[in-house]
């Protein structure tokens, strides 16, 4: 059938298959690519919020870390609530897709308040302001935005190959937008700051520039993507109910099952899914490194390598080579599976992180960043679809579809990893007697920065490598998908 287009949507002349197991077309992939741009505010916060607090506002890093740690308690609740809101959303545009547009204005306002502080506040009220603005941005806006975007993989199709491509597209687009942030943010700050890197004016105007990119990406993501799971309205359902065969009705019941699932049933189905739990733990480590590395690189470049311009070089090399790593990983993933591809990436990354411990020669440090990039590419290629595979397994095992809730927990882990990075950076730097007002840091601060940039990432890679041995879902998925298509899930799976 010809696709109906709402007002303001791009009219795509070619027909789109809107069946639940459809193979996605180019507009969907392109739309999801731009969807990653809606997370650009999160990239800025994870990479530069701490340096803004320490070098522009001169706030205590330990106090900021405590504020963020407390905020994560609220974040966990908001992720679950937002996942449930998406599961219950009823719109002609779908469940997750409308949120691309809904969050443009509130997120933009919260980002401006986050990177600005009213003058004249006492020390206590400064941290109160940080708590309020950080929670408005992260707990509310980032949550709604990130869960909606990550849930789109599950709502766009059940086709495993298309999901895999979307997952890879997600990592490529995340990399592209991360490069746009990490390589240019400080340069734009310096430009608007009149040659000074750390000024309020520079940060505020730079945020405005990136918010324009964010809004454009959100609009394009909404216009180009389509949902195929749970996208049938009640009236359409009644009109077509009589024409469905018994088997088709069972399949329809399966794909629409989530809307009727009680809250605690969905929670129980997730926490009895061993692969989902393992995936979350591994992703916590990986996304911790992805977000944490950006912040640590700023301090490492300025205070250990004594060259702040090197920060952009290291970040750009890592993320550009990451794209190459993803391309190299695709044929490898096809031959040896997602788990084994990720294991190779973790081993390569561990080597790259450790190299600066051997020598701080500039060329070697840059080469080490490239090695980490290759490793990240091998990790990123399968990581994008890992979560959806575990949720597919959960549907088959328990008979409960919990895409929104499952992605909500993933969003929480993603933000938790970013917050943990900021918290750990703050505590370790304070313990090392780091002082942003000093051009030359004490030896203890240099050791702290090396611990953060070299040793911690190396250990995390090795721990995740050990955990990857326990993930053996790849070989089971083809059978599970056929069982779901046949309607043999949950109790039916046990009796058939």
Q: What is the pTM of this model?
A: 0.66
Compute CA 272 distance to the chain's CA centroid, rounded to the nearest angstrom. Answer: 24
Q: What is the pLDDT of residue 234?
A: 39
What percent helix, strand, coil does the chain show, rounded to 5?
A: 75, 0, 25
Q: What is the pLDDT of residue 254?
A: 45
Q: What is the pLDDT of residue 239?
A: 41
Q: Which residue carries 């955990």 as its tokens? A: 467
How many Cβ atoms from other residues are within 10 Å of residue 307's Cβ?
A: 12
The total number of residues shown for the chain amounts to: 496
141: alpha, beta or left, given left = phi > 0 and alpha = psi -120 to 50?
Answer: alpha
Coil vs helix vs strand at 315: helix
Q: What is the pLDDT of residue 39?
A: 83
Q: Is 225 exposed, middle or buried (0-12, 13-18, 19+ CB in 10 A)?
A: buried
Could you please report the per-residue DSSP string of 93-106? T-SSTTHHHHTHHH
Contact 381, 171 (CB under 8 A): yes
- 114-127 burial, b for 16+ CB within 10 Å, e for fewer? bbbbeeeeeeeebb
Domain 26-227+258-495 class, CATH top level: mainly alpha
Tokens at 186, concatenated: 């400080």
- Whole-number Å distance between alpha carbons of 86 and 374: 35
Helices (H), 115-159: 123-134, 143-156
Cβ-proximal residues to 163 (8 Å cutoff; 6+ apart), any chain: 153, 156, 157, 385, 388, 389
Tokens at 468, concatenated: 């990857």
Q: What are phi and psi of 317, to 5 degrees?
A: -60, -45
pLDDT tens per residue, the chain (496 residues)?
444 445 444 444 456 767 777 788 888 888 888 888 888 888 898 788 888 998 899 888 888 878 877 777 777 678 778 878 887 778 888 888 899 999 999 999 999 999 999 988 998 999 999 999 999 998 889 888 888 888 887 788 777 677 777 777 777 787 788 888 888 898 899 999 998 888 999 999 999 999 999 999 999 999 988 887 754 333 333 444 444 444 444 444 544 444 456 777 777 878 888 888 888 888 888 878 876 777 788 889 988 998 888 888 898 898 889 888 988 988 898 888 888 998 999 999 999 999 999 999 999 999 999 999 999 889 888 876 777 788 888 878 777 777 767 766 776 676 677 667 777 888 888 889 888 877 788 999 999 999 999 999 999 999 999 988 888 888 888 888 787 777 777 776 654 4
Q: CA angle, 134 as apex, 410 and 461 as ends, to 5°?
A: 40
Q: What is the pLDDT of residue 244?
A: 46
**Domain segments of the chain as ranges:** 26-227+258-495
| Span between the terminal Cα atoms of the chain, in Å | 35
Tell which residue, 420, 286, 283, 295, has the closest CA to residue 45.
295
Compute CA 369 distance to the chain's CA centroid, rounded to the nearest angstrom. Answer: 21
Tokens at 211, concatenated: 């918010």
Q: What is the pLDDT of residue 435?
A: 85
Q: Is 109 exposed, middle or buried (0-12, 13-18, 19+ CB in 10 A)?
A: middle
Structural element, H or E, at residue 62:
helix 61-88
Coil vs helix vs strand at 361: coil
Could you please report the per-residue DSSP string of 148-188? HHHHHHHHH---HHHHHHHHHHHHHHHHHHHHHHHTTHHHH
């Amino acid at each position: 059938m010809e696709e109906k287009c709402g007002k303001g949507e791009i009219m795509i002349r070619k027909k789109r298959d809107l069946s639940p197991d459809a193979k996605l077309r180019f507009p969907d992939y392109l739309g999801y690519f731009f969807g990653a741009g809606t997370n650009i505010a999160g990239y800025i916060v994870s990479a530069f919020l701490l340096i803004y607090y320490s070098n522009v506002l001169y706030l205590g890093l330990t106090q900021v870390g405590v504020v963020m740690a407390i905020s994560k308690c609220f974040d966990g609740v908001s992720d679950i609530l937002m996942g449930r809101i998406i599961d219950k959303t009823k719109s002609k545009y779908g469940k997750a897709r409308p949120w691309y547009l809904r969050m443009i204005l509130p997120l933009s306002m919260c980002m401006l308040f986050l990177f600005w502080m009213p003058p004249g506040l006492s020390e206590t009220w400064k941290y109160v302001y940080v708590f309020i603005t950080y929670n408005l941005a992260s707990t509310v806006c980032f949550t709604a935005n990130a869960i909606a975007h990550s849930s789109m993989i599950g709502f766009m199709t059940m086709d495993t190959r298309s999901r895999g491509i979307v997952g890879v597209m997600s990592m490529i687009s995340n990399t592209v937008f991360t490069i746009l942030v990490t390589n240019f943010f400080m340069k734009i700050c310096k430009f608007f700051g009149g040659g000074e890197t750390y000024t309020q004016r520079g940060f505020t105007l730079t945020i405005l520039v990136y918010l324009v990119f964010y809004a454009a990406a959100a609009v394009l993501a909404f216009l180009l993507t389509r949902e195929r799971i749970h996208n049938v309205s009640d009236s359409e359902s009644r009109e077509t109910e009589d024409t469905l065969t018994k088997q088709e009705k069972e399949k329809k019941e399966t794909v629409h099952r989530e809307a009727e699932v009680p809250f605690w049933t969905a929670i129980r189905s997730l926490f009895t899914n061993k692969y989902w739990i393992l995936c979350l733990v591994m992703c916590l480590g990986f996304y911790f490194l992805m977000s944490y590395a950006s912040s640590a690189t700023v301090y490492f470049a300025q205070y250990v390598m004594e060259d702040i311009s090197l920060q952009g070089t290291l970040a750009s090399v890592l993320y550009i080579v990451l794209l190459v790593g993803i391309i190299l990983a695709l044929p490898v993933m096809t031959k040896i599976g997602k788990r084994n591809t990720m294991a190779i990436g973790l081993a390569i990354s561990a080597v790259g992180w450790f190299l600066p411990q051997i020598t701080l020669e500039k060329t070697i440090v840059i080469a080490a960043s490239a090695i980490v990039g290759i490793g990240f590419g091998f990790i990123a290629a399968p990581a994008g679809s890992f979560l959806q595979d575990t949720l597919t397994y959960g549907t088959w095992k328990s008979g409960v579809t919990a895409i929104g809730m499952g992605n909500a927990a993933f969003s929480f882990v993603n933000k938790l990893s970013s917050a943990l990075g900021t918290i750990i950076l703050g505590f370790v730097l304070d313990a090392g007697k780091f002082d942003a007002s000093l051009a030359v840091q004490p030896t203890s601060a240099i050791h702290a920065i090396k611990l953060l940039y070299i040793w911690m990432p190396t250990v995390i890679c090795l721990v995740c490598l050990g955990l990857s041995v326990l993930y053996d879902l790849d070989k089971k998925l083809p059978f599970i998908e056929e069982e779901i298509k046949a309607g043999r899930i949950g109790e039916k799976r046990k009796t058939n």
